[in-house]
Amino acid sequence: MKDLKDILYRVSLTATIGNMDKKVNGLAFDSRKVSKSDVFVAVKGTQVDGHDFIGKAILQGATVIICETLPTEVLDHITYATVSHATKALGIMASNYYESPSSKLKIVAVTGTNGKTTTATLLYQLYMEMGYQVGLISTVENRINEQVIASTHTTPDALSLQELIQKMVEAGCTHCFMEASSHAIVQERLSGLKLMGAVFTNITHDHLDYHGTFDEYIKAKKMLFDRLPKDAFALTNADDKRGMVMLQNTQATKQTFGLRFPADFKAKILTNSIEGLELDIDGKQVWFRMIGEFNAYNILAVFGTAVLLGEEEEEVLMQLSKVPGAQGRFDKITIAGVTAIVDYAHTPDALENVLKTIQGVRTGGEQVITVVGCGGNRDKTKRPIMAKIATNLSDKVVLTSDNPRDEEPMAILREMEAGVNPVDFKRTMVIEDRREAIKTACVLAKPSDIILIAGKGHETYQEIKGMKHAFDDRKIVKELLNLIHNS
Ligand SMILES: CC(=O)N[C@H]1[C@@H](OP(=O)(O)OP(=O)(O)OC[C@H]2O[C@@H](n3ccc(=O)[nH]c3=O)[C@H](O)[C@@H]2O)O[C@H](CO)[C@@H](O)[C@@H]1O[C@H](C)C(=O)N[C@@H](C)C(=O)N[C@H](CCC(=O)O)C(=O)O
Ligand SMILES: Nc1ncnc2c1ncn2[C@@H]1O[C@H](COP(=O)(O)OP(=O)(O)OP(=O)(O)O)[C@@H](O)[C@H]1O
Ligand SMILES: N[C@H](CCC[C@H](N)C(=O)O)C(=O)O
Ligand SMILES: [Mg+2]
């Protein structure tokens, strides 16, 4: 049991009712997860309002309620406290509950439309190579050193986040690299977290369904930098149109990276091939296993972060050249001369980058066959744009399902098709079943051709109408290429 007052340390309360000298058990913001003597924090969500579940939380055993507005009926044996931002309060309370874990290790958060998982994972792999104990919080997985903990979100909710960091501290981690999604920033999942630094990769079209306008989306990302403390660093991509905007109001030390504009961390691409990248960084020529110009940016972000955290430049470059990168990001499988690339490109910008990279590393007359879909219950405006990019930059395209979620798969596909130029209809197919779509690409491919399977990367399931079915692009394409080309 803990003292309620300790959990409320630094939370600005606007009013209180009842006994504040209480001992409490745990903390919850979901009434379904409340146990005896817990504090329940009522949060206004996108679907429902947590304030409607205060009664239920009390029935489940909550003895303290933190809320923005008091319920009409207050009970004698319950303590109530009001706050102006329940989500902000939740983060601070979670940090207090777990005894401020983020002040016991160095945390760097990475934000941006694309490249968060890649950058955070490269940092994790680099620091592991350098012999540190390291934590990772990412879309693909969370890690405490070698231990893998399944990930449900790109950035976990405030309570799970503080608990995870506390486990990292317990395991002896000195560093933690994490992704900060724009949803997480707006929903204050990072409230109460002490950061050593934040990195901005880039910003392009995504999530307009949630943020409403591109300006609001930019503001969400910028909030991460606005809230950094003075002793942290803010590292931004100088080549991104919005890179400098991120640093406008930060108190942190401003640092930049880039390939084009003047920057603190600069590189020149010497070789960009299907085998990897050769970069000139500060006069040193180094090979990396990652492919494509966009990965040169990710590498620079990682290099800059490590140097700003106090590592020695040469050591960083030497170790970084060994690391494999994140799963499902430009994963290359070659069978019987056909190369399949599985990539998590699920935004217009990412798809364009990956296809341009493939165009750039093509050596002869290979065909590029792209299999791509768009997720359901997500930003609809990207659908026609992604189909257009796929047809513009590929020889043949198979439009298929991604995770249709609750939407009708064919309705999503019709929205994608609307972006295809009529002159490209002949080389564009629509096959709803993703496995059949991959199979068609494998049948169409001749030796030396390249198949790009975009959108799902590391995912091992397909979500259709609330059900997650086992589905792994990498396994399926391997099996089909072997069946079609090796038998
Ligand atoms: C749209 C969105 O971001 N939703 C997130 C949000 O939930 P919400 O606001 O919709 O919650 P709600 O269902 O309205 O409920 C409001 C409150 O009532 C409580 N409640 C609800 C029901 C009940 O019976 N009792 C109860 O107490 C809930 O616990 C909650 O506190 O807060 C929840 C807790 O943190 C998240 O799990 C949930 O993520 C949903 C599942 C989700 O799919 N989120 C995606 C879009 C997301 O966050 N993605 C980003 C990555 C995006 C990217 O960059 O690619 C991520 O960080 O993963
Ligand atoms: N720096 C970058 N700039 C543009 N595109 C990139 C960059 N890095 C990776 N990509 C492309 O974007 C895809 C997603 O990359 P990654 O998973 O690293 O991004 P993310 O920001 O974590 O995405 P999410 O928002 O889904 O968590 C990759 O599969 C690749 O195609
Ligand atoms: N973090 C992203 C992942 C999208 C991946 C794609 N496969 C999809 O399902 O749309 C999101 O939740 O929007
Ligand atoms: Mg990610």
pLDDT given for residue 208 in this prediction: 76
DSSP readout, 201-221?
----S--HHHHSSHHHHHHHH
Residue 189 confidence class, pLDDT cut points 50, 70, 90: very high
Residue 39 confidence class, pLDDT cut points 50, 70, 90: very high
Residues 301 and 350 in one domain: no
| Inside any domain, residue 62 | yes
Q: How far apart are CA 251 and CA 312, in angstroms?
A: 25
Ligand 3, atom 10: nearest CA belongs to which residue?
A: 375
Helix then strand then coil, in percent of the chain rounded to 5, is 35, 25, 40
pLDDT at 54 over 80: yes
| Inside any domain, residue 33 | yes
| Inside any domain, residue 464 | yes
Residues 315 and 357 in one domain: no
pLDDT at 196 over 90: yes
Q: How far apart are CA 147 and CA 142, in angstroms?
A: 8
Q: What is the mean pLDDT of residues 205-230?
A: 87
Instruction: Tell me which of 273, 293, 320 is where a domain ends.
Output: 320
Q: How far apart are CA 439 and CA 443, in angstroms?
A: 6
CATH number at residue 68: 3.40.1390.10
Instruction: Tell me which of 273, 288, 320 is where a domain ends.
Output: 320
| Inside any domain, residue 325 | no
CB-based contact 237:262 (threshold 8 Å): no
| Inside any domain, residue 125 | yes
pLDDT given for residue 161 in this prediction: 98
pLDDT at 296 over 80: yes
Closest ligand 1 atom to residue 182 Cα is 54
pLDDT at 477 over 80: yes
Closest ligand 1 atom to residue 189 Cα is 35
Residues 299 and 419 in one domain: no
pLDDT at 207 over 80: no
Q: How far apart are CA 436 and CA 425, in angstroms?
A: 19
Ligand 3, atom 7: nearest CA belongs to which residue?
A: 456
Full strand arrangement of the beta sheet holding 141-144: 147-150, 141-144, 134-137, 175-179, 106-111, 197-200, 233-237, 253-258, 265-273, 276-281, 284-288
pLDDT at 206 over 80: no
Q: How far apart are CA 306 and CA 258, in angstroms?
A: 16
Residues 134 and 258 in one domain: yes
Q: What is the mean pLDDT of residues 33-44?
A: 97
* Predicted-complex ipTM score: 0.95
Please name which ligand lies nearest the alpha carbon of 379: 3
Instruction: Tell me which of 97, 122, 146 is where a domain ends.
Output: 97
Residues 183 and 69 in one domain: no
Q: How far apart are CA 57 and CA 35, in angstroms?
A: 8
Picking from 212-221, 383-392, 456-465, 474-483, which range would have the lowest pLDDT averaged per residue? Answer: 212-221
Ligand 1, atom 35: nearest CA belongs to which residue?
A: 157
Provide the domain count of the chain: 3
Please name which ligand lies nearest the alpha carbon of 91: 1
- Of 353, 355, 342, 362, whose CA–CA distance to 449 is shortest? 362
Residues 310 and 401 in one domain: no
pLDDT given for residue 273 in this prediction: 85
CATH number at residue 240: 3.40.1190.10
Residues 19 and 144 in one domain: no
375-385: pLDDT as tens digits? 999 999 999 99
391-420: pLDDT as tens digits? 999 999 999 999 999 999 999 999 999 999
pLDDT given for residue 197 in this prediction: 98
pTM, full prediction: 0.92
Using CA atoms, how far residue 232 sits from 52, 115, 179, 224, 264, in Å, is 39, 21, 17, 12, 16
Residues 273 and 124 in one domain: yes
| Inside any domain, residue 452 | yes
pLDDT at 194 over 80: yes
Residue located via tokens 């777990």: 98
Domain residue limits at 448: 331-485
Q: Any bridge partners for residue 41, and if so which?
A: 66
Residues 340 and 403 in one domain: yes
Residues 124 and 88 in one domain: no
CB-based contact 190:109 (threshold 8 Å): yes
pLDDT given for residue 211 in this prediction: 73
| Inside any domain, residue 326 | no
Residue 212 confidence class, pLDDT cut points 50, 70, 90: confident
What three-state secondary structure class fits 222?
helix
